Amino acid sequence: MSATLWFVIRRTLQVIPVVLAIAALNFLLLHLAPGDAADIIAAQSGGASAEFTAELRRSFGLDLPLYQQFFVYIGRLLTFDLGFSNVQHRPVFDLIAERVPATLLLMVVSIGFALLIGVALGIISAMRHRSWVDSVVSVIALLVYATPQFWLGLMLIVLFSIMFGTLPSGGMMTIATDMSVWERAVDIGRHLILPSITLALFYVAVYARLMRASMLEIYTFDFVTTARAKGLSETRVGLVHAASNALLPVITLAGVQVGHLLGGSILIETVFGWPGLGRLVFDALLQRDLNLLLGILFISSIVVVLANLAVDLLYGFLDPRIVHQ
Amino acid sequence: MLKSVNSIAFAATILTLTAGTALAQSCPKTGGTLTYVYHPEPTALSTIATSAVPVAIISTKIYESLLSYEGADMKPKPSLAESWTISDDKLTYTFKLRHDVKWHDGKPFTAEDVKFSVEKIIRPYHSRGKVYFGDVASIDTPEPYTGVFKLKDPVPFFMNVFQPGEAPIMPKHAFDGVDLSTAGAVRKADIMQKPIGTGPFRFKEWRKGSDIILERNPDYWHKGHPCLDQVVLRVLPDGAARAIAVETGEVDLAPMSGLPEAEILRLSKLPQLETSKAGAEALGPNMWLEVNMREKPLSDVKVRQAISLVLDREKIVDVIWYGQGTPARGPIVSANPTYFNKALKPYEYNPKKANALLDEAGYKRDADGVRFKMTQNFLPYGENWVRLAEYVRQELGKVGIVVETQSLDLGGWLKAIYTDWNFNITSTFSHNYSDPSIGVERTFTSSNIKKGATFTNSMGYKNARVDELFAKAAREMDPKARKAQFDEIQQILHNDLPVIFLVELSYTHVWNKRVHGLITNGISMYSSWDSVWKD
């Protein structure tokens, strides 16, 4: 037990330097890009005098030497202050917080849906290895995996919004109507269908392929032969013995993809006008909104690091040998 | 009997005429929501924070200025000012303000707000504030509804500047407790996100990344207006998705070329939609190749003329911009009804002549057929600009000029062109705005060769005559003389080619035919929309 506890403490402490290193690296990388928010604001106003731009730069603190800006940034991080977005004129934390629900909704629904379907398809293909079912699933998975998401999204819009007129083409909810809570939930659900399916199809393909490969590998292990030798039905061998063991790599991948939960999907959010974090990152990058970018990168790196920590700890729990190594 | 029939007919005619007049003044129909799409999303709701297009479109429904404008030639009309007088020496402008105007928070609007807005907010913090109000010596408020602007020198375009996006009048009381001495503090003020204006629509809600809702201002001074109940902006980042939303009728309007040009072409053929290039004459976007003239060979006018000769402007308009534009002839766009010099000839497309000019300039082809090499940048505003860069590279290659294209994002591009001057040629565009002294002068006078100032004279172009003419025109109160000055400037720049003038871009608006009354003046999308109505 003490070994397990020690493992947990050690892995948790390792997180701190990783997060700090990421924060420092983010800062330096972003400052490598030429140009700043003052230039962009001046340019988008259709041109401004040099004094105007210089005054903006001064009031944003962008005229300070890099090391001073760095210490200001790290000092703020230590008090969990993410700063102020000079482009959007609002605190970074508020900007991120109002986008999180949309991104979480889209990603949890898509990845959840994809895990269910993907794992099921993977199991079916593995259990019917080299049958026509396996071929059909594999071909479809490869096709979906190779199809650009934005194109798939646009085609779904053409189909369901223009031709059938059944689903809205974009946005997260109908604007400017008074709705009860229940009506609003249904409304958001309708808006969620196309983007979540588009996004989920990609993950379905990934999980289906991974689950299939993992199952096939497990089938070669001795304990599967033993199970068969005991006279267990092929269904029981597949579902209980092989599938539960084959889940490990799928869990690993899903854990890594938790990072996407916060990163969002820029393409899907762009095509469907979904007000999530992915687009916030993209806009912030183009507008050189440094504080906002640093804030988003910092939070998403923490989430990824924590998700990996959780997966590591889960491993130790699922497979005690990892703790002792 | 006959007489009485006649008099009935006469009375009916009179009645119809009166009804017609009444109709013109009141809304044919009230109610409804106008939804428009635009991307990017505004970053603020005041043009003081940034006068970028998305901010200007939405904030001009909320804020007003002293004047409104009619027609492409921007004839001044009353708005917050109901009348005005201009002194004979053109140095004193007296505006009589409306008495019945309230801010959206219910407080009364007075001349103090005008004085405060111009002196403390617009002049120091609007990106063009100093151009507009730099010559204002004082603003007096002898009584609560009179504002007297005294100028140091005459400003010929002074009546053009009171546009809602360029000189928005803001409530003095909303800045209580705000440090007005720094741009940062003013930009962080609450009012930048939660605006309080006098306009026909007031701010209701902003769901970031999704939509902004404005609702009818019930206390609006123009009685019976606005016609619409709501104006809604929907943020849809993908161009194709925006076009679909217009096509299905989910949104009513995509203003200011807010759709990809190929989609505009497609949608213009649909029966339920209307497209128009009119209504942006006082913006006048003009696209050109900026040439860094500091070094050879681009310092040689023959080389610049040769570059101009190998670029087929008709083709650029038709193929690259899907027909959304007009070949440019000089610095002032041909849609400008007052100052465009009609004597300018269209630029010729003649590669043979270009080759001869390059030979004459001493840049002979080497054994590989190469005359010289240079780099080009392009404005990173999307696909069209990339295609233009490819076209320029291909055409210049044909006459032996080898062009290497460098790709930068907006931040990097601005720094390279306007701070470092580290480029050979680059595509870009610039707005004429409502007067050449505002929008054209800054690119071509030598006093605007300033590092760090975006969209200025990056070329390093110096021409004493051009400087002199611009300086004169900025003070010239005689319209005829001023027209002559701008005519000469256009002729010089047309020949000198400090930039290779290519295309007058169009701002094309696409809207559903159920919406009426959108196009009213040269800044139609930056106007209040108080008389826009919907079936």
- Per the CB < 8 Å rule, is B431 touching A42? no
Check residue A307 and give its pLDDT: 79
**Rounded-to-integer distance, Cα B77 and Cα B119, Å:** 23
Report which residue type is found at B463.
N
pTM as predicted:
0.83
Check residue B307 and give its pLDDT: 97
**CA-angle at B66, arms to B171 and B63, nearest 5°:** 45
**Rounded-to-integer distance, Cα B460 and Cα B294, Å:** 6
Give the count of beta carbons closer than 10 Å to the beta carbon of residue B328: 27
Q: Is the pLDDT of residue B109 over 90?
A: yes
Task: For each of the domains in chain B, give its residue range(s) and CATH number, in order of start.
Answer: 6-34+41-194 (3.90.76.10), 285-505 (3.10.105.10)
Quick one: what percent of chain B has pLDDT higher than 90?
A: 80
Mean pLDDT for the stretch of residues B331-348 = 95
Average pLDDT along chain B: 92
Check residue A320 and give its pLDDT: 67
How far is the alpha carbon of B479 from chain A, nearest alpha carbon, in Å?
27
Q: Is the pLDDT of residue B44 over 50?
A: yes
Residues in a beta bridge with B326: B504
CA atoms within 13 A on the CB side of A69: 18
Check residue A259 and give its pLDDT: 66
Read off φ and ψ for residue B366, nearest 5 degrees: -85, -170
Check residue A42 and give its pLDDT: 80
Question: What is the tens place of the pLDDT at every residue in B49-63?
Answer: 888 899 999 999 999
Among candidates B230, B431, B455 on the partner chain, residue whose Cβ is nearest the Cβ of A176: B230
Positive or negative, the Cα torsion across B170, B174, B180, B186? Answer: negative
Q: Is the pLDDT of residue B337 over 80?
A: yes
- Per the CB < 8 Å rule, is B208 touching A270? no
Check residue B293 and give its pLDDT: 96
Give the count of beta carbons closer than 10 Å to the beta carbon of residue A129: 12
**Rounded-to-integer distance, Cα B140 and Cα B153, Å:** 17
**Rounded-to-integer distance, Cα B67 and Cα A146, Å:** 57
Give B350-403 as a DSSP string: -HHHHHHHHHHTT----TTS--EEEEEE---SSHHHHHHHHHHHHHHHHTTEEE
Check residue B451 and give its pLDDT: 85
- Per the CB < 8 Å rule, is B43 touching A287? yes
Among candidates B211, B409, B456 on the partner chain, residue whose Cβ is nearest the Cβ of A47: B456
How sure is the predictor about B8, in pLDDT bands with cuts at 50, 70 and 90?
Answer: very low
Question: What is the tens place of the pLDDT at every residue in B214-269?
Answer: 999 999 999 999 999 999 999 988 888 899 999 999 999 999 999 988 899 899 99
The two beta strands, A90-91 and B211-216, are: unpaired
Please identify among residues 427-446 of chain B the ones whose CB lies closer than 8 Å to any CB of chain A: 430-431, 433, 442
Question: What is the tens place of the pLDDT at every residue in B356-404?
Answer: 999 999 999 999 999 999 999 999 888 889 999 999 999 999 999 999 9
Question: What is the tens place of the pLDDT at every residue in B277-329?
Answer: 999 999 999 999 999 999 999 999 999 999 999 999 999 999 999 998 999 99
Q: Is B49 on the interface with A (CB under 8 A)?
A: yes
**Rounded-to-integer distance, Cα B288 and Cα B417, Å:** 14
Check residue B489 and give its pLDDT: 98
What does R_g of chain B's alpha carbons equal in angstroms? 25
Check residue B292 and give its pLDDT: 97
Within 8 A of B193 by CB-CB distance, chain A residues are 89-90
Mean pLDDT for the stretch of residues B33-43 = 92
**Rounded-to-integer distance, Cα B501 and Cα B288, Å:** 4
Within 8 A of B53 by CB-CB distance, chain A residues are 44
The two beta strands, B33-37 and B230-234, are: parallel
What are all long-range contacts of A258-263, with beta carbons under 8 Å and residues at least 24 apart?
Answer: A258/A303, A258/A304, A258/A307, A259/A300, A259/A303, A259/A304, A259/A307, A260/A107, A260/A111, A261/A103, A261/A104, A261/A107, A261/A108, A261/A111, A261/A303, A262/A100, A262/A103, A262/A296, A262/A299, A262/A300, A262/A303, A263/A300
Check residue B6 and give its pLDDT: 44
Check residue A244 and give its pLDDT: 84
Positive or negative, the Cα torsion across A63, A64, A69, A75? Answer: negative
Intervals of chain A under pLDDT 50: none
- Per the CB < 8 Å rule, is B412 touching A34? yes
Q: Is the pLDDT of residue B21 over 60?
A: no
Q: Is the pLDDT of residue B206 over 80?
A: yes
Check residue B22 and give its pLDDT: 35
Both tokens of B37, joined, read 């799409």
C-alpha dist (Å) from residue B391 to A85, B288, B313, B403: 38, 14, 11, 11
Read off φ and ψ for residue B309, nearest 5 degrees: -70, -25
Residues in a beta bridge with B431: B285
Task: For each of the domains in chain A, give its residue range(s) and CATH number, in order of start.
Answer: 101-286 (1.10.3720.10)
Check residue A47 and give its pLDDT: 67
**Rounded-to-integer distance, Cα A89 and Cα B39, Å:** 18
Q: Is the pLDDT of residue B209 over 50?
A: yes
How far is the alpha carbon of B209 from chain A, nearest alpha carbon, in Å?
4
Q: Is the pLDDT of residue B423 over 60?
A: yes
Q: Is B451 on the interface with A (CB under 8 A)?
A: yes
Q: Is B138 on the interface with A (CB under 8 A)?
A: no
Both tokens of A319, joined, read 């497979």
Read off φ and ψ for residue B450, nearest 5 degrees: -135, 125
ipTM over 0.90: no
Residue B533 · residue B216 · CB < 8 Å: no
